[in-house]
């Protein structure tokens, strides 16, 4: 279990421009259509502007326009894509992520998470899946790309539920909501989460190493935050690339180090406090 963190206590950086809703309007309309046409499986979560009553969620300022209109998607009653996190943790998949204002969770499972990275000024960057092994897997280069990837996976999953139920069970299974939820979860795992949370085959995974910054004259060293000891450079890496932060050959206890992002979340620094 994670230690609760009150979102209302977060002091978000405000130097970044707000991400325009126009950039994600088409994919949000697609997600809304999926929820509307598959009400048995999906629920559209309204944004802050549509919610009645007090909302405890505190998304970063850069997501203001999006979060006003779109809160997320629930799959069989479970919040799956969530832009209105009302309680955050600091252990489990978040153990090495440092300050809560350095990232924003989009999905949280059992000891796994999908997070949006935030640069020091609050600019949103890459999206990473974090598996039980604490490895980072590049899910998308930015939030709009992740929303598109999520919509593709969600559509494939929900449109395949009935056929999968017929394949596995008899006709009575069509009316069993628990079976339907289990099959939907399995299909969404196969379409999305297996790849970005390390639950699938990884023979072809592009592993990006953490390199020591000692004596490194490259551009990644120029961007380095204070006390950084190593960097993984994912600039130019394709989605699916992995950084195995726990298995890096670095001095000290990995659990006493933290990750910091630069350059749109594609420079991943290990900082030793």
pLDDT of 115 reads: 97
pLDDT of 1 reads: 36
End-to-end alpha carbon distance in the chain: 25
- In whole angstroms, what separates CA 150 from the centre of its chain? 10
Q: What is the pTM of this model?
A: 0.92
pLDDT of 212 reads: 87
CA 135, CA 128: separation in Å to the nearest integer? 9
The answer for residues whose C-beta is within 8 angstroms of residue 72's C-beta and 6 or more apart is 45, 79, 80, 81, 82, 83, 84
Residue numbers in the chain where pLDDT is lower than 50? 1-3, 6
pLDDT of 224 reads: 86
φ, ψ dihedrals at 126, nearest 5°: -70, 160
pLDDT of 2 reads: 43
φ, ψ dihedrals at 67, nearest 5°: -65, -25
């Amino acid at each position: 279990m994670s230690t609760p963190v009150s979102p209302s206590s977060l002091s978000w950086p405000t130097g970044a421009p707000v991400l325009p809703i126009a950039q994600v309007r088409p994919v949000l309309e697609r997600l809304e259509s999926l929820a509307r046409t598959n009400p048995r499986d999906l629920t559209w979560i309204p944004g802050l502007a549509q919610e009645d009553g007090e909302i405890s969620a505190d998304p970063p300022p850069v997501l203001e326009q999006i979060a006003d209109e779109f809160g997320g998607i629930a799959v069989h009653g479970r919040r799956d894509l969530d832009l209105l996190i009302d309680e955050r943790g600091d252990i489990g998949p978040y153990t090495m992520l440092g300050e809560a204002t350095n990232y924003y969770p989009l999905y949280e499972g059992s000891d796994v998470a999908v997070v949006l990275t935030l640069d020091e000024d609050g600019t949103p960057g890459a999206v990473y899946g974090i598996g039980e092994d604490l490895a980072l897997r590049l899910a998308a280069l930015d939030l709009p790309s992740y929303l598109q990837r999520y919509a593709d996976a969600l559509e494939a999953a929900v449109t395949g539920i009935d056929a999968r139920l017929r394949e596995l069970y008899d006709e009575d299974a069509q009316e069993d909501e628990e079976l339907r939820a289990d099959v939907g979860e399995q299909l969404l795992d196969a379409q999305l989460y297996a790849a970005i949370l390390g639950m699938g085959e990884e023979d072809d995974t592009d592993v990006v190493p953490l390199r020591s910054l000692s004596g490194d004259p490259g551009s990644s060293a120029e961007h380095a935050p204070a006390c950084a000891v190593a960097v993984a450079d994912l600039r130019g890496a394709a989605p699916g690339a992995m950084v195995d932060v726990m298995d890096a050959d670095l001095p000290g206890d990995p659990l006493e180090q933290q990750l910091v992002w630069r350059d749109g979340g594609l420079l991943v620094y290990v900082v030793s406090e």
